[in-house]
Copies of this chain bind each other. A is one copy, B any other.
């Protein structure tokens, strides 16, 4: 059976070059970078090289990069740490309604700690309006966190405009760029932001490693208490192999961004066009143009996502429904609901995320196997039965 992996938004495979870069650190170069001996030196130097590589990916200074263990940790650290560092100034934070749960639930935790939270709505494309952010800024607002792009619907947000508004009001601005960094160009200076989260496994680097960039001069309270690693800002023995892999992945992403983007955009454009024309009652979710290069998302009417995934999987096709990280949760995606979709429609979400290895033949295959899957589930669906009766009756 053909196997087609189209779930790169959930996690990407390691590039061979990344794995090669990591291997020595799973072997004889196993030292702890905090240690004052030659094993420690080798680890520390490799880690600092990686810090440079990651910094260059986002046009930052190396010393502004703090390594973490995931995008989730970067977001927890940023939202909690930046807010807590300023709690004497005020206790109001602003995030969008479609943030990843690692931002949203961190903000909810801040609420438990006495902060107030404003959620910025989005339009039907999942787009945040900078004006809405402006309206929600108050004297006591200390943090705005709006994601760079949404991993579920692919929409890229107007970060530069929002950052400008935050800056005018003197409010610290963080962006969750986990879905963007390494995939589309990011320049933190050009964007005018204060903090940014990224994660290795989104761009052919390893799992178990992320980074938080915090602009020099911006205060943050450590999230992980303990030793003095990462300049005292993030405790715990550093995951050297993964950090080295992240560095290599960053270097490769920067070097090959243009050609990758071209390849991915071609594939996703084809699917965005052909799928709704081949299968009836399918809507594209997210912004038609301002979206991640490899990202094609839909809602299929009258049927539910998990059942589609399972049948597609039985045909060798790996995709996801709702948010990758929450696809085992019960409820309809908060992102799609925030975009105004009905619950029934939101249940039928389907996300194809292309990777470097995908080809146009993969799309042929998906289009071939998806139609009967949809058909089969619709034949089982009481919602579809009602619809056909009504439209016949109507």
Contacts and interface: CB of A to CB of B under 8 A. Distances in A.
Given A72-B237, A237-B201, A225 B37 contact: no
Interface string A56-80: 0000000000000111110110000
Interface stretch (A226-234, A291-299, A380-388): A226-234
A26 B199 CA distance: 16
Contact of A37 (B102, B237, B313): B313
B7 A325 contact: no
Contacts of A228: 325-326, 328-329
A14 B34 contact: no
Interface stretch (A182-190, A204-212, A337-345): A204-212
A227 B36 contact: no
Copy total for this chain: 2
Interface residues of A, number: 75
Interface in A284-324: 306, 309-310, 312-313, 316-321, 323-324
Contact of A34 (B12, B13, B327): B327
Contacts of A109: 225
B313 A71 contact: no
Interface in A1-51: 3, 5, 7, 10-14, 19, 22, 26-28, 30-32, 34-40
7 contacts: A19-B27, A34-B326, A35-B320, A37-B317, A71-B236, A76-B226, A208-B239
Given A32-B324, A102-B227, A227-B329, 12 more contacts: A10-B32, A10-B40, A37-B320, A69-B70, A69-B239, A70-B236, A70-B239, A72-B235, A73-B236, A102-B226, A208-B209, A227-B323
